Amino acid sequence: MEEEFEVPSPHDHAVEHVAEEGHGGDSFAARIAVMTAVLATLGAMFGYEGGATQNEAALLKNDAAITATKASDQWNYYQAKSNKLTVAELAQALPGVDQNKYKADAERYKGEREEIKKEAEKLEAQVEALNKQSEERMHHHHSWARATTAEQIAISLAAIALLTRKKWLQYAAYAVAATGAGIGLLAFFGG
Q: Which of 6, 58, 48, 31 is nearest to 170 (CA)?
A: 31
SS3 label, residue 3 = coil
pTM of the model: 0.72
Position 14 confidence tier, pLDDT thresholds 50, 70, 90: low
Output the pLDDT for position 11: 57
Which residue in 132, 148, 154 sits closest to 188, CA to CA? 148
Would you place residue 4 in the very low, low, confident or very high pLDDT band (cuts 50, 70, 90)?
low
Question: Buried b vs exposed e over 58-74: b needs ≥16 C-beta within 10 Å?
Answer: eebbebbeebbeebeeb
- The model's confidence at residue 23, banded by pLDDT at 50, 70 and 90, is very low
- pLDDT above 80: residue 1: no
Which of 4, 28, 7, 49 minimizes the C-alpha distance to 151?
49
Confidence band, pLDDT 50/70/90 cuts, at residue 96: confident
Position 70 confidence tier, pLDDT thresholds 50, 70, 90: very high
